[in-house]
Structure 1
Amino acid sequence: MNARVPADAFSPRLSDYQLSDNLSATTGRIFLTGTQALVRLVLMQRELDRAAGLNTAGFISGYRGSPLGMVDQQLWKAKKLLELHDVRFLPAINEELGGTAVLGTQRVESDAERTVDGVFAMWYGKGPGVDRAGDALKHGNAYGSSPHGGMLVVAGDDHGCVSSSMPHQSDQTMISWHMPVVNPSNVADMLEFGVYGWALSRFSGAWVGFKAISETVESGSTVDLDALNLTWPAPKDFTAPQGGLHNRWPDLPSLTIEARLAAKIDAVRHFARANSIDKWIAPSARANVGIVTCGKAHLDLMEALRRLELTVDDLDAAGVRIYKVGLSYPLETTRLDTFVDWLSEVLVIEEKGPVIEQQIKEHLYNREHGARPVVIGKSAQDGAPLLSALGELRPSRVLPVFADWLARHKPALDRRDKVVDLVAPQILSNIADAVKRTPYFCSGCPHNTSTKVPEGSVAQAGIGCHFMASWMERDTTGLIQMGGEGVDWASHSMFTKTPHVFQNLGDGTYFHSGILAIRQAVAAKANIT
């Protein structure tokens, strides 16, 4: 006689997971987007401080824009949770005022009337916002963070120019300010690197740049909270210069500020030697060649391996080292020295400009002892183009370069025959591209009428969805940066017979900075509507 089997005996057990766990859970696995990770970061930092006996508060300010267009909405949704953790959110009128606001939080710790031990802060803005806020962010980094505060500068970079007027790579700008930069490759990295960034900022007095490119911050993934490293103790053997490195008064204009910036970078290097977010992916002890990756480019390499039906273990066993950089500036060189030991050649895979590649070359150039391997990446040893800095890096762009490189050094792992099939144009059909629906204003949208100009007149486009008027036969041309609308006509009008133009200007842009453009047009007595 057969025993009766319960109907649910083979049914999977469902956990009691809730969507709100992405911000509130402290252990286990959660699912969250990159945007939500930025919100979770401040909550995590507050809890870490509370566990350490610190009475800190958090502060966030910045200005939305793709790929950080949803940050403010996620912060508003989490308002009650933020208040519970003593985190304040100030939506800024524009990026530079947001940068000035976060600067103020690092002065709290020296205030005798303060209500908290310190304030950890976050500024966010897309690439053009980093440019606009440059003066405020540069001053903030120079003045410094506070010992129990810390500062993250989250740069939403649109490497592929998908939703911006031009591509941006903000890390190069931040490096020019002597600002250290962390470069996460996925959502889990965002959490770990964010906590690391605040610890680094508190130790060094520097503000820390945080790369948040479209592919990372607009993605979603499962994260194992128990696997994250959130403990970054301050090194005990570092001696700061006289006066310290943190925010203080007076910080009057002088070359002392420049000297302190250099000292902060020294402190960053010291911290990174003791606490590294760089990771050994394939540490092969008998390697003679190696690969260095950073940020999203690491995932591009991993996908290239998958398409070539290779694993990290295959490369490790064949004598290929792989090293993933987390702190992209300044590069931690003691581990780099270990990495290049016995290597004849290093392939650097990174997106856009050669931030990592240049630092490796600079470090190795005058090296007297040990190996000095050939370093290639954006160009080959003979100077020929290799992994271009133009456009976005994709697995399909990494694939042929990596396959050729691997076949040259490790013939047993030659998979070049698979590259042709994987990147051939026959894979995807583009027949449908011949039929396109041109974007148009929604039914009832006020732009349907507001962008029409009188017959014989012309208009200049501006930032906003009203830019679509440019392809609607409405005599609308041109484009200028946000807040500059119409100012270009103030000069142009002096050298043309055209007597007048209309200028499109959105209400959001008016609030952000457009009122200044109007004031400039009035001051120039420009004939413009």
Structure 2
Amino acid sequence: MPDALVRPQATLADALWADAGTVCLSGTQALLRLLLMQRARDAAAGLDTRGFLSGYRGSPLGAVDLAVWRAGAAFAERGIRFLPAVNEELAATAVLGTQRVASDPERSCDGVFALWYGKGPGVDRAGDALKHGNAYGSSPTGGVLVVAGDDHGCVSSSMPHQSDLAFQAWQMPVLAPANVAELVEFGLYGWALSRYCGNWVGLTALSEVVESAGTVDLDLIQARAAAWAGAEAVRAASGHRPPAEGLHYRWPDLPSLAIETRLADKLAAVAAFARVNAIDRRIVEPTPAAPARVGIVTAGKAHLDFMEVLRRLDITTEQLAAAGVRVHKLGLTYPIEATRMRAFVCGLAEVLVIEEKAPVVETQLKALLFNAPDGARPRVLGKSDAEGRPLIAATGELRPSRLIEIVAAWLAAHDAALDRRAQVRDFTPPELLSNAADAVRRLPYFCAGCPHNTSTRVPAGSTARPGIGCHVMASWMERSTAGLIQMGGEGVDWVSHAMFTRVPHVFQNLGDGTYYHSGYLAIRQAVAAKATLTYKILYN
């Protein structure tokens, strides 16, 4: 007789609407659930808030709007408003408007918590609006999450993308979830942090995370969130005192050096909040009988890559502890929480930092320890080894297969009992016999029936320029199409090029979505310059 179902009443709708228990969530559904859970948390705390969602579709966040529309009227009935934005910077500007509600004497709610979303290039495009929003700040009963859909592997973008460095440049805190469950937990944490410190808070949504799905324990997340200390408790525990004029959105807030000073004060508030409310986790802690000698710091998805490497090497966390290896996983990757990091490195001779792409955590850790006394300043390895040779790649996607040889060699060098280098080959690409078939590749092509099959053709003797969208595939078809430009700049590169060539005319492909987003500005520039080209607005 088959085992009885644990939850026979479970339905697919539980992904959004279940109040407790375990649910299966996609990354996109996790973002919607975030808003619903925050609204419920506020109501339970006696706050009459509303939620606001705005952004621009683009892989890996290309289905957020569709998920909202599928949720139907129930989403709005729960107090969440959705604004499909024309483009990313207008979405960010709309989000800023929501943080003014708390100080409006005619407001219809206590405050608005907001979520902005966009793919990596959209973060760049909206940079000025996001930078201003973060500087002006959030409201104490609102808060802002900035969700960046990063495509580290250049799977669906014009180039690989990482938003962390832009967030750092704007002095915006950054959270790095490793899986779908952490998208939910860290999102709730981000709003709590935003309300305390006045910052907007960045949430990295890597394509490999947000385009995945997983089982999420709602009760565990709620329990962790319930344990976070509130503003008064944070100040009491940390000794933090905000400046007299506060950290949050206010008016008037005219151009002055006070905005810059307030940004520094906000990061001090982030440090205080993170010191009391930790989402960094100690994964392995050796016992006094086998004290820690070396350590590993991980962050975001890279942590799961590391754990998969351990599985492939048949090394358990207990074996790491017995060998004196301490492991610490960061959730807040900027700014790193200093007190726990200093405690982590205490007694260690060397630390290996495992993180995606740029050395975001590694650079901060090195700066933190630079002037530390002997015994509290271990060697820090990451993108390079102790001799400055390349170690963990800062380019491409970090995967277990790219990490396993590095980790295996590092562990073996520190303890012979952890030497599993003989098992590495089973997980790295084997050498293949070379033959003529190795060069055969199937190039992507337009779908059958797609208008692009005909609309991207040009008359004999003519040339065309591609734009952002799937019609860029005309570049590798026999359609005399070459060149690429950022979204919204289509044709403007030809405006200047035309001044220095004998070519009299080109066609410029422009998707109808791009036209609505920002492409019409490029057309206006071409008209103003009296350039000779023909725009083809492609129907998708």
Pairwise TM-score range, normalised by the shorter structure = over 0.9
Give the aligned partner of residue 389 of structure 2: 384
Which one of the candidate residues 110, 113, 127 is aligned to 2:103? 110
SS in 1 for 2:363: helix
Give the aligned partner of residue 270 of structure 2: 268
CA shift at 1:11, angstroms? Answer: 5.7
Give the aligned partner of residue 89 of structure 1: 82
For 1:364 and 1:209, locate their aligned partners in 2 and report how far apart those are by CA, in whole Å. Answer: 25
Using a 3 Å threshold, how does the CA distance of structure 1 residues 311 and 432 change in structure 2: closer, same or farther?
Answer: farther
Using a 3 Å threshold, how does the CA distance of structure 1 residues 252 and 185 change in structure 2: closer, same or farther?
Answer: same
Give the aligned partner of residue 292 of structure 2: 287
For 1:371 and 1:431, locate their aligned partners in 2 and report how far apart those are by CA, in whole Å. Answer: 57
For 1:203 and 1:304, locate their aligned partners in 2 and report how far apart those are by CA, in whole Å. Answer: 38
Give the aligned partner of residue 349 of structure 2: 344
Which is worse superposed, 88-97 or 226-235?
Answer: 226-235
Give the aligned partner of residue 453 of structure 1: 458
Give the aligned partner of residue 505 of structure 1: 510
SS in 2 for 1:477: coil
For 1:10 and 1:278, locate their aligned partners in 2 and report how far apart those are by CA, in whole Å. Answer: 38
For 2:404 and 2:393, locate their aligned partners in 1 and report how far apart those are by CA, in whole Å. Answer: 13
For 1:526 and 1:429, locate their aligned partners in 2 and report how far apart those are by CA, in whole Å. Answer: 50
Using a 3 Å threshold, how does the CA distance of structure 1 residues 199 and 462 change in structure 2: closer, same or farther?
Answer: same
> 1:125-176 CA deviation, whole Å, 9 max, x = no partner?
0000000000100000000000000000000000111100011110110110
Using a 3 Å threshold, how does the CA distance of structure 1 residues 13 and 171 change in structure 2: closer, same or farther?
Answer: closer
The answer to whether structure 1 residue 407 and structure 2 residue 400 are counterparts is no
Give the aligned partner of residue 250 of structure 1: 252
Using a 3 Å threshold, how does the CA distance of structure 1 residues 428 and 327 change in structure 2: closer, same or farther?
Answer: farther
For 1:143 and 1:272, locate their aligned partners in 2 and report how far apart those are by CA, in whole Å. Answer: 21
| Maintained 8 Å contact 2:16/2:33 | yes
For 1:337 and 1:266, locate their aligned partners in 2 and report how far apart those are by CA, in whole Å. Answer: 17
For 2:436 and 2:157, locate their aligned partners in 1 and report how far apart those are by CA, in whole Å. Answer: 28
For 1:390 and 1:447, locate their aligned partners in 2 and report how far apart those are by CA, in whole Å. Answer: 33
Give the aligned partner of residue 4 of structure 1: none
Give the aligned partner of residue 174 of structure 1: 167
Alignment of 1:189-268 (within 5 A): 189-228=182-221, 229-231=224-226, 232-233=228-229, 234=231, 235-237=234-236, 238-268=240-270
The answer to whether structure 1 residue 517 and structure 2 residue 512 are counterparts is no
CA shift at 1:271, angstroms? Answer: 0.3
Using a 3 Å threshold, how does the CA distance of structure 1 residues 376 and 10 change in structure 2: closer, same or farther?
Answer: closer
SS in 2 for 1:90: strand
Give the aligned partner of residue 147 of structure 1: 140
Give the aligned partner of residue 327 of structure 1: 332
Which is worse superposed, 518-527 or 233-242?
Answer: 233-242
> 1:30-86 CA deviation, whole Å, 9 max, x = no partner?
101111100000000000000000000000000010110111111111232321210
For 2:3 and 2:271, locate their aligned partners in 1 and report how far apart those are by CA, in whole Å. Answer: 54
SS in 2 for 1:236: helix
For 2:90 and 2:482, locate their aligned partners in 1 and report how far apart those are by CA, in whole Å. Answer: 30
Give the aligned partner of residue 59 of structure 2: 66
Give the aligned partner of residue 5 of structure 1: none
> 1:196-223 CA deviation, whole Å, 9 max, x = no partner?
0000000000000000000000010111
> 1:295-325 CA deviation, whole Å, 9 max, x = no partner?
0100010000010011111101211000000
For 1:74 and 1:429, locate their aligned partners in 2 and report how far apart those are by CA, in whole Å. Answer: 46
Which one of the candidate residues 1, 11, 15 is aligned to 1:18? 11
Using a 3 Å threshold, how does the CA distance of structure 1 residues 9 and 127 change in structure 2: closer, same or farther?
Answer: closer
CA shift at 1:469, angstroms? Answer: 1.2
1:32 maps to a residue whose letter is L
CA shift at 1:413, angstroms? Answer: 1.0
Give the aligned partner of residue 537 of structure 2: none
> 1:422-450 CA deviation, whole Å, 9 max, x = no partner?
21415999997654433222333222222
TM-score by length of 2: 0.94
Give the aligned partner of residue 114 of structure 2: 121
Which is worse superposed, 463-472 or 394-403?
Answer: 463-472
CA shift at 1:421, angstroms? Answer: 2.7
| CA RMSD across the alignment | 1.6
Give the aligned partner of residue 538 of structure 2: none
CA shift at 1:15, angstroms? Answer: 2.3
For 1:78 and 1:230, locate their aligned partners in 2 and report how far apart those are by CA, in whole Å. Answer: 25
Q: After TM superposition, where is structure 1 displaced by more than 3 Å over at least 4 residues in a row?
A: 8-14, 426-437
For 1:489 and 1:19, locate their aligned partners in 2 and report how far apart those are by CA, in whole Å. Answer: 50
CA shift at 1:368, angstroms? Answer: 3.2
| Maintained 8 Å contact 2:348/2:375 | no
SS in 2 for 1:209: strand
For 2:133 and 2:328, locate their aligned partners in 1 and report how far apart those are by CA, in whole Å. Answer: 32
2:21 maps to a residue whose letter is G
Using a 3 Å threshold, how does the CA distance of structure 1 residues 260 and 438 change in structure 2: closer, same or farther?
Answer: same
For 1:523 and 1:148, locate their aligned partners in 2 and report how far apart those are by CA, in whole Å. Answer: 46
For 1:164 and 1:345, locate their aligned partners in 2 and report how far apart those are by CA, in whole Å. Answer: 37
> 1:391-415 CA deviation, whole Å, 9 max, x = no partner?
1111011100000000000111100
The answer to whether structure 1 residue 372 and structure 2 residue 377 are counterparts is yes
> 1:366-406 CA deviation, whole Å, 9 max, x = no partner?
11375110000000010000001011111011100000000
For 1:341 and 1:472, locate their aligned partners in 2 and report how far apart those are by CA, in whole Å. Answer: 59
Using a 3 Å threshold, how does the CA distance of structure 1 residues 432 and 33 change in structure 2: closer, same or farther?
Answer: farther
Same amino acid, percent of matched pairs: 65
CA shift at 1:258, angstroms? Answer: 0.3
The answer to whether structure 1 residue 28 and structure 2 residue 53 are counterparts is no
2:250 maps to a residue whose letter is R
For 1:430 and 1:250, locate their aligned partners in 2 and report how far apart those are by CA, in whole Å. Answer: 71
1:230 maps to a residue whose letter is A
For 1:330 and 1:431, locate their aligned partners in 2 and report how far apart those are by CA, in whole Å. Answer: 51
For 2:439 and 2:510, locate their aligned partners in 1 and report how far apart those are by CA, in whole Å. Answer: 33
CA shift at 1:230, angstroms? Answer: 1.5
Give the aligned partner of residue 47 of structure 1: 40
Which is worse superposed, 15-24 or 300-309?
Answer: 15-24
For 1:15 and 1:313, locate their aligned partners in 2 and report how far apart those are by CA, in whole Å. Answer: 37
SS in 2 for 1:230: helix
For 1:265 and 1:329, locate their aligned partners in 2 and report how far apart those are by CA, in whole Å. Answer: 10
Alignment of 1:427-438 (within 5 A): 434-438=439-443
Using a 3 Å threshold, how does the CA distance of structure 1 residues 498 and 360 change in structure 2: closer, same or farther?
Answer: same
SS in 2 for 1:476: coil
SS in 2 for 1:175: helix
Using a 3 Å threshold, how does the CA distance of structure 1 residues 430 and 49 change in structure 2: closer, same or farther?
Answer: farther
1:236 maps to a residue whose letter is R
Name stretches of at least 5 consecutive residues in structure 2 with no aligned partner. Answer: 535-540
The answer to whether structure 1 residue 360 and structure 2 residue 365 are counterparts is yes
1:334 maps to a residue whose letter is T
1:505 maps to a residue whose letter is L
For 1:352 and 1:405, locate their aligned partners in 2 and report how far apart those are by CA, in whole Å. Answer: 19
